[in-house]
Structure 1
Amino acid sequence: MEDNAMRITVLTVPDCPNGPVVEERIAAALAGRAAEVELVEVREEADAARWGMTGSPTVLLDGIDPFAAEGAVPSVSCRIYWGADGKADGAPSVDALRKALTSAGLADSASEDCSQTDPLDPIGRGSRGRLAPAERGLRAVQQAMLRHFASTGRAPDAAVLEPAAATAGRTAPDVLAELAREDFLTLDEDGQVRAAYPFSAVPTPHRVTIAGRTEVWSMCAVDALGIPAMLDTDVVITSSDPVTGEKITVTSTGGTTVWEPSSAVVFLGRLSCSGPASAVCCDALNFFTNRASAQSWLTKHPEMTGQITDKDRAEEIGRQTFGPLLTGNQPCC
């Protein structure tokens, strides 16, 4: 951590249900920017007064509460935050946190030098992961959508997702729009699902056969490699070398994979700018028959930065990124 990194202190009472919620939102608001996040449990009123905690959770940016309300007194009770829409919430929203961070002097992520960004950032949403938050129906809709893709090979209509959205008192289009803003999926101009990582509703170079039955497109090579771990089932991935056109097949059976040809590799790369994974890196994350072919492709695409990786590392990234999407179970407010 850099010496001049912003210090973010999260003050909560023990077992506060909104503690994990605010941590998740802080990570989303940071979007990969450097900051030192400290978690502090406060049990006594005297400690609340010492820290400046006026309810749990309280967020301090370099020791200052950006959400402090006039007349609020130190307390170890639950804290209520009011959103721009007038609704009560148990933690500041991602947008409110993002604005507070910027006002406190943290440089906006868009102003950072994109050429220095880790090629894997778009894949993992700047270390925030691909599992949507449990709050506001986001995870319920995401998981319903992924299961529909896996069982049918197609994107679900909004009507299919309405029951999942209704559990949070929202409509499916509303939840889908928020998921798109946070880069868990992409929508077309009509608001229909175009992709829900790792699946694509439109043809791509990567075809995946699930359990010998369902065929679906994946967004990229890494997405395809994450599908067997996400679904805990056997898959066959079929792709082609962008340079030679040669067929590449990855067969995953019982957790063991076989690559044909065995010399095949994956290029992990991205464009040198910010944006959603679908625009920044999906076209660059490809299978190649060997390193020479991948290097030849990279030479012809100087706009791409990244590295050539072997199959073990590519499989590991796929498992880490997509394995938790249907099993994640984080606390909700």
Structure 2
Amino acid sequence: MSWEDDAMRITVLTVPDCPNAPVVEERLARALEGRRAEVELVEVRDTGQAERLGMTGSPTVLIDNVDPFASPGAPVSLSCHLYRGPDGRVEGAPSVADLRRVLADADAAVDCDCPPMDAAGRGGRGRLAPVAGGLRAIQQALLRHFAATGHSPAMEDLDAAAAADGRTAAKVVADLAADDFLVLDDHGRIRAAYPFSAVSTTHRVCLADGVEVWAMCAIDALGIPDMLSTDAVITSADPVTADTIIVTSADGHMTWQPPTAVVYVGQRSCTGPAADVACGALNFFTSRRTARTWARQHPDNTGRTVDQARAEALGRSIFGSLFPAAEPAEGRG
């Protein structure tokens, strides 16, 4: 497989002999103004092909497989596509100004200059629970259980650690959940303890000792090897293409396949625990191009792409301190 580079992909869908095809190509060339892009003209000959490609009239302009001019619920069509320009006139091709606007919007979707979101949640307060009330003891006990078994502990597995502070495991776990150190399901069972998930996710991490765990998101997955002081292999999938991304961590160094892979760091426009607000918007992508496509398809998310080094640093900064340096988990390969 040949992996895509970061260039924007622009596809112009037209019916054969569409008089506006050369018009939109000429306007695109002016609007791009040196921006790296692959422009392809595709002739669509029947409604079946139009439906597969997302054509809503001739010409239809797709930016990274997304139609920025489409109205909600626009039907598939082989007829002429009419565009209203900035001056109100209706034409058979988008104006240069409108093309520049949607191209800039596509770049801004994942390439803004804003700093990465607080991927840990908790308003920058970090993921290490306080010592008081037995919170840290229980947090570390359940993280060790995840690392040793690949699944969440039952309350009785945590009773001894909680008893040292004169509390029940259920009470300490409830306090940890209230402050977003972990997530409970509707039955009060531990569904997640960042960075681990008790249910399958897109992000699987195979530790050096053979234990497989699920990570809540891409950043959590990248933080696990450093947190546990172990080698590991992270396997995930691009949400757009379903292509596999593999990150191999050995002796503190990470190798990514494909080499073009990036991470989108974002959050939804809502409030709540990080599991609901951020984890679904922290994903691996095979390239900036597919990250850009995903961002445009999910306008309720805000964020940016980060390169591999920045993503690794985020994982280390959030999870690297969850175990004391003198007590690393087993398994350095």
TM-score relative to the length of structure 2: 0.62
Residue 154 of structure 1: which of 151, 158, 164 is its match?
151
State the Cα distance separating 1:118 from its structure 2 match: 7.1
Q: For residue 169 of structure 1, give the secondary structure of its aligned residue in structure 2.
A: coil
2:172 aligned partner, one-letter code: V
Q: Which has the higher contact order (CA 8 A, sep 6+)?
A: 2
2:227 paired with 1:230: yes
Structure 1 residues not aligned, in runs of 5+: 1-116
One-letter code of the match for 1:223? D
Question: Which residue identity is paired with 1:120?
Answer: M
Unaligned runs of 5+ in 2: 1-113, 327-333
Q: Residue 269 of structure 1 contacts residue 284 of structure 1 at CA under 8 Å; is this kept in 2?
A: yes
Q: CA RMSD in A?
A: 1.5
Partner of 2:301: 304
Q: Equivalents in 2 of 1:298, 1:195: separation in Å?
A: 25
SS at match of 1:319: helix
Three-state SS of the structure 1 residue aligned to 2:276 is helix
Shift >6 Å, 4+ stretches? none
Structure showing greater radius of gyration is: 2
Q: What is the DSSP-based 3-state SS (H/G/I as helix, E as strand, rest coil) of the residue aligned with 1:283? A: helix
Q: Is the 8 A contact 1:119 1:305 kept in 2?
A: no
Q: 1:251: which partner in 2?
A: 248
Amino acid at match of 1:259: W
Q: In the alignment, which of 108, 125, 128 is matched to residue 125 of structure 2? A: 128
1:317 aligns with 2:314: yes
Q: Which residue of 2 is the match for residue 192 of structure 1?
A: 189
Distance in 2 separating the partners of 1:167 and 1:305 = 43
Contact 1:263 1:290 in 2 (8 A): yes
1:105-135 CA deviation, whole Å, 9 max, x = no partner?
A: xxxxxxxxxxxx9763351411110000001
Counterpart-to-counterpart distance in 1, 2:133 and 2:258: 45
CA contact (8 A) 1:122 1:276 kept: no
Q: In the comparison of the two structures, how many residue pairs are matched?
A: 213
Identity of aligned residues (%): 57
Distance in 1 of aligned mates of 2:277 and 2:250: 31
Pick the aligned partner of 1:214 from 201, 211, 214.
211
The question of whether the paired residues in 2 share the 8 Å contact of 1:122 and 1:280 is answered with: no
1:233 counterpart letter in structure 2: T
Equivalences for residues 88-99 of structure 1 within 5 A = none
Determine the C-alpha separation between the residues in 2 that align with 1:300 and 1:178.
36
TM-score, length of structure 1 as denominator length: 0.62
**Is 2:241 aligned against 1:266?**
no
**Secondary structure, aligned partner of 2:201:** coil
